[in-house]
């Protein structure tokens, strides 16, 4: 009984995610289908990569991951499959997998397209999942491809006394997650005091270990469960109350 995960920008108010699940189960009724998210912003492969990258490693080996986030006008959009760390991945070759994995040195296979239809991904995913769930090889489902389409995202800019980063994700609670990792922060900080500047608000000058370390309604920063620096408000929504949005700049000065 194979596990199949779904990560899409379909949303949950339309029929698309349900129709995809129906197509998968029609192809292989024994599949166990798990939703990672259907609420990725439309065509936003950077957000989709962030959500998926922080979830897929928790699944067992031989899990099949299906991703459908399209930001290319190309038709037909190329779909590929590959294996990584004992798990299988199926999705568009539009830079999404490069954002998730960075360099991938293993083989990549391009999947054949149905001859007609608007939502061809249903047929592509159904065929690929049934094939992989049966234990068949990647080589026998597609043609070898020339690696992954590459995409580049903005990285923090550092100097001896400063890190300039940006907000890359706002979660369900309104917490604003930056692209500043704990290791980068510690590398530049060298145990020095800091001031975190964002928008036109007063800077935050200390790290919290938990949200509850500050008074209710007060802003704070901490390293979250994926070791990224996060701006939050204890029992509040930092995005709406502080006006924080994806791509907003943040700056940390060390003294």
Tally of residues, the chain = 255
Asked if residues 165 and 248 have their Cβ atoms less than 8 Å apart, the reply is no
pLDDT value at 210 more than 80: yes
DSSP secondary-structure letter at 103?
Answer: S
Owning domain of residue 220: 157-254
Tell me whether residue 152 is in a domain: no
Lowest mean pLDDT among 64-68, 115-119, 135-139: 115-119
The proportion of the chain whose per-residue pLDDT surpasses 90, expressed as a percent, equals 85
Long-range contacts of 214-217 (CB under 8 A, 24+ apart): none
91 and 18, same structural domain?
yes
Tell me whether residue 117 is in a domain: yes
Tokens of 129: 């999942």
pLDDT value at 1 more than 80: yes
Q: Which of 111, 144, 177 is the last residue of a domain?
A: 144
In angstroms, the CA 218 to CA 215 distance is 6
Tell me whether residue 150 is in a domain: no
Please count the CA atoms within 13 angstroms of the CA of 178 that sit on its side-chain side.
28
Residue 117's pLDDT is 63
């Amino acid at each position: 009984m194979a596990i199949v995960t779904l990560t899409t920008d379909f949303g949950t108010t339309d029929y698309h995610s349900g129709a995809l699940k129906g197509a998968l189960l029609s192809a292989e009724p024994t599949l166990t289908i798990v939703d990672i998210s259907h609420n990725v912003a439309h065509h936003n492969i950077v957000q989709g990569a962030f959500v998926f990258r922080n979830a897929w490693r928790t699944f067992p080996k031989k899990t099949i991951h299906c991703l459908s986030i399209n930001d290319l006008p190309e038709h037909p959009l190329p779909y590929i499959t590959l294996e990584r760390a004992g798990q299988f991945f199926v999705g568009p070759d539009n830079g999404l997998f490069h954002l998730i994995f960075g360099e991938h040195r293993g083989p990549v296979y391009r999947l054949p397209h149905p001859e007609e239809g608007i939502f061809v991904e249903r047929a592509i995913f159904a065929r690929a999942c049934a094939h992989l769930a049966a234990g068949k090889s990647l080589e026998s489902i597609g043609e070898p491809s020339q690696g992954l389409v590459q995409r580049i995202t903005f990285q923090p800019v550092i100097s001896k006394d400063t890190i300039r980063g940006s907000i890359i994700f706002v979660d369900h609670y309104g917490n604003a997650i930056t692209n500043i990792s704990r290791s980068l922060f510690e590398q530049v900080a060298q145990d020095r005091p800091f001031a975190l500047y964002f928008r036109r608000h007063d800077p935050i000058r200390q790290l919290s270990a938990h949200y509850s370390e500050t008074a209710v309604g007060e802003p704070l920063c901490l390293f979250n469960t994926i070791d990224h620096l996060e701006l939050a408000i204890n029992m509040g929504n930092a995005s709406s109350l502080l006006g924080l949005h994806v791509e907003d700049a943040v700056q940390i000065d060390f003294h």
